[in-house]
Chains A and B, each alone.
Chain A
Amino acid sequence: MRRLFLTITALLLTAGCSIAGNDDADGKTTVTFRLWDEQVATAYEQSFAAFEKTHPEITVDVQVVPWADYWTKLPADVAAGTAADIFWTNTSNFGLYADNGHLLPVDVSGDWTKSVVDLYTRGGKLWGVPQLWDSIALYYNKDLVTKAGVDPAALTWDPSRPDDPFRAALRRLTADGAGRHPGEAGFDPKDITTYGFNAALDQQAIMWDFVGSNGGTWQTGDAFTFADQPKTAQAVQYVVDLINKEHVAPSAADTNTNSDKALQLFTQGRIALFQSGPYHLKAVHDGAGFPWGIAPLLDGPAGRVGVVHGVAAVASARTAHKEATTEVLKWIGSADGQRPIAAGGYAFPGVTSVQPAFVDHWRQRGVDLQPFLDSAGGTTFPAPVGPRVGSGGTAYAPVLQQVFLGQLGVVDGLRKAQNAGNEAMKG
C-alpha cells in the first residue's frame, strides 16, 4: 500500500515535469541560470552574450523569478527536477541545499571577495561562486541635514545615555505639519511630514546593525539566541523606541508590510537619514530630486558595525550537463564575466579586481562609495547561517512585526520570536 501510493505520487510528480532538454536541435547545450533581480539580469544578459561568442556550443537562458516567490518556488522545482542548472542564493537559504547534497561543490577558483567566500564555505567546502555583495551605510538628504545643523558623518548613538546624541539629532530632523519637532509643545505624531530616520523591521539594514553596534549577537551556532542577550534586547528596544516613543521614524504600520515604504519616503524628501545598502543606489539616484550623499554607519557602544551580505551562484547537483554548467560557473566567477554587473553600476561584484569599475560608475555620477567599502572592511555582523535559518526567520517575522508595532513588549516579543524561530528550524 505504502509503496503503491509513493509510486503514484512519484509518477504524478514526474509526469508534470518536462524532460530535461539537454541538447537543442542545432547541437547547442542550454544552461539555465536563475536569479531574483530583474535589473542585474540585464547585466547578466550582456555578460552571457560575450560568453556565447567564445563558447558557440553553449546557450545560457536567464530566468528571473521575483524575490517574493523565489524561496517557495525553488524547493518545489528541486523536488520536481525542474530547478535551473545554476541559481542565485543568499546565505539564509543555501545551507539546506548544500547539506542535502543538492549542490555541486565549487571546484573552480577565482579572485573573490573573502567575506563572501567565507559565507558560502560550509563543511570545509565552497558551495557558491561569489556574485555580489552588500554592506550598509547611511544615505542622507543634504538639504535636510544642513537645515537642522546635523553632521551625518559624526553621528554616535548610545542607548544608556539620557543625552544620546543620535536621538537629539533625529528630533531636530523630524517635523510635523506645523514645523514643530518631537518633544515640543503641540507636536502631532500623527501628522509628521519629515522623519529623521528609517528605523523599521529591516533586519539587514537596521536591526542587526544596531544589535552589532551595541555588542549583541543574533545566533549561537545555527540556533537563535537573541532573546538571551541583554545587549541585543537593548538595541532592539532602542530601534523600536525611535518609532513608537520618539516619533522620529515612520510607523511600523506603514513599513512592516511594505518594505519599499522607507525608500519611497526618502526619495520624496521626507526622511533625512536613510540607512541602507548599495542595492538602493539606482533607485535613490533615479528618484531623489535633491542633493544627497552617503555617510559611514553610526558609531555605537561597540563601534561601527554593519551587516555584510553576499549573493552567490550555486550549481544544481542534478544538472544534466555538468561540463557546460562548469564552463558557465567559471565565466561568472571571472573578471570578464562580472564586469557588466560592476560597470553598469548594479552592485559590488564578487570578483575583487572589477570592484573599481563599480566605484568608478558612481564616482562619475558624483557619488562616493567609500562608506560602503569602509563598512565592509571594518567590524561586520555575521549574516544568518544554518540549513533552515530561512524558515526560522519567516517563523519569527510576525512576532517581531508585533514588537515593532508596539503591540508586544521587546523582552517578551524577542523570547516568543526566538522560540518560534528555533521551533521552525527543527523541520
Chain B
Amino acid sequence: MTVAPARRAVPAARARPGRSRRDTLTGLAFLAPSLVGVGGFLLAPVVVVLGISLTRWDLIDPARWTGLDNYRSILGDPAFGRSLAVTAVFVLLVIPLQTALGLAAALLLDQRLPGSTWFRAILVLPWISAPLALGVVWRWLFDPSDGAINELLGHRIEWLTSPALALPSVAAVTIWTNVGYVALFFLAGLAGIPPQYGEAARIDGAGPWQGLRRVTLPLLRPTTFFVLATGVISSFQVFDTVYAMTGGGPAGRTEVVAYTIYREAFVNFRMGRAAAMSVVLFLLLITVTIAQQTYFRRRTTYEMG
C-alpha cells in the first residue's frame, strides 16, 4: 500500500499507542477474572511450593532456608523411589484398561441400542461421585469377613491387606470410577466422525474390525491423546481412593507418591521435603505429557473440523 504514505503515517502513528493501550486495558479487564484465578490459585501456589521446597518447615516454627538439601535428601531416599515405583505400576495397571474399557463402552453406546441414554448416565455416576466416599464404600465391599464381594464369592480373600492384591484392588476401583468419563470423551469423538468415512470403508469391503482399526481409531487420535494425557496425570496424582481404602498399606504396597507427599507434609510435618517431592512429581508429569504430545503430534496428520 503506497497511497499517500506521508499523510497517513502521521495520524496513524499518533493514534496507535492510545488505541492499543485502551485495547490492552479492555482485553485485560475481560481477562481479569480468569487471570486472578490462574494467578492466585495456580501460578502463585506453584511459586510458593518451589519456595517451601528450599526450606525446613514444620508448620509450627518459622521456616529455615536450607537450599537444595531437601532435593538431595529425597533423591537419596529409597522410600520416595519406592513410592514412585508403586505409582508407575499403578499407572500401568490403570491407563491401558480404563482406556480400552472406555473405548469399548463408547463403541457400544454409539450403536444407539435401546436404553443407551440411561446406561450412559449410569456409567458416568462413579466419576461424578466423591472419590473419598467411593473409597469408603469399596472398603466395606472388600471387607474380608462381612464384605459383599467375599459373600458373593463364598470365599475369604483379604483384598486390601494382602501384599499381592492390595494395589490391583485399588487400581480396579480407580478404573471403575474413570471408565464412564473416558467413554464420554470417546463418544464425543465418535460423534465427530462423519458417517461417510465408515460407509466408504464398507463399500471398499472393510469388515467391522478393519473399519475400527483403519478408520475409526486413527480419526479418534486427538480424543485418545486427550484421554491418555489427562488419565496419566490424574492416576499419577491418585490420593483419595488410596487414603480411604488402604491408607498406603500393607507395608507400603499401595503407597503412591501423592500419599507419600501427604504423609511427609501432614503426618511428619516436613513441609520442605513434601514440597520438594511435589516439585519432582510436577517435573515428571510435564515430561510425560510432553512425550505423549510429541508422539501423537507426529501421528495425527489431519485436523477434524
- B147 (CB) vs chain A CBs: closest residue: A254
Q: Could you write out 14 A-B pairs with CB less than 8 Å apart?
A: A2-B65, A6-B63, A8-B51, A96-B60, A251-B158, A253-B144, A253-B161, A254-B144, A256-B249, A257-B246, A391-B268, A394-B268, A395-B268, A398-B249
In the complex, are the beta carbons of A12 and B161 less than 8 A apart?
Answer: no
Known contacts A251-B158, A257-B139, A407-B163: A75-B59 contact under CB 8 Å: yes
In the complex, are the beta carbons of B251 and A407 less than 8 A apart?
Answer: yes
Q: B residues bordering A, Cβ < 8 Å?
A: 44, 47-48, 50-52, 54, 58-61, 63, 65, 139, 143-145, 156, 158, 160-163, 246-252, 263, 266-270
User: Closest CB of chain A to B176's CB: distance in Å?
Assistant: 20
Q: Does A78 contact B (CB under 8 A)?
A: yes
Known contacts A256-B161, A398-B249: A391-B51 contact under CB 8 Å: no
Interface SS of A by simple majority = helix
Q: Does A144 contact B (CB under 8 A)?
A: no
Distance of A72 Cα from B243 Cα, bound (Å)? 14
In the complex, are the beta carbons of B267 and A394 less than 8 A apart?
Answer: yes
Which residue of B59, B252, B269 has the most chain A CB atoms within 10 A of its CB atom? B269
For B266, the chain A residues whose CB sits under 8 A away are 72, 75-76
In the complex, are the beta carbons of A5 and B268 less than 8 A apart?
Answer: no
For B44, the chain A residues whose CB sits under 8 A away are 12
Other 12 A-B pairs with CB < 8 A, given A257-B246, A398-B247, A407-B163: A6-B51, A6-B63, A6-B65, A8-B47, A8-B51, A9-B63, A251-B144, A254-B145, A257-B247, A391-B269, A394-B263, A395-B267
Partner of A253, one of B158, B248, B267: B158
For A427, the chain B residues whose CB sits under 8 A away are 58, 269-270
Count A interface residues, CB 8 Å.
Answer: 36
User: Closest CB of chain A to B305's CB: distance in Å?
Assistant: 44
- B158 (CB) vs chain A CBs: closest residue: A253
For B158, the chain A residues whose CB sits under 8 A away are 251, 253
For A256, the chain B residues whose CB sits under 8 A away are 161, 249
- A6 (CB) vs chain B CBs: closest residue: B63
User: Closest CB of chain B to A38's CB: distance in Å?
Assistant: 18
Q: Which 3 A-B residue pairings sit nearest by Cβ, starting from the closest?
A: A5-B51, A72-B266, A253-B161
Residue-wise, chain A 222-245 has the 8 Å CB interface mask toward B (1 for contact) of 000000000000000000000000
In the complex, are the beta carbons of B268 and A424 less than 8 A apart?
Answer: yes
Distance of A12 Cα from B48 Cα, bound (Å)? 8
In the complex, are the beta carbons of B248 and A398 less than 8 A apart?
Answer: yes
Q: Does A220 contact B (CB under 8 A)?
A: no
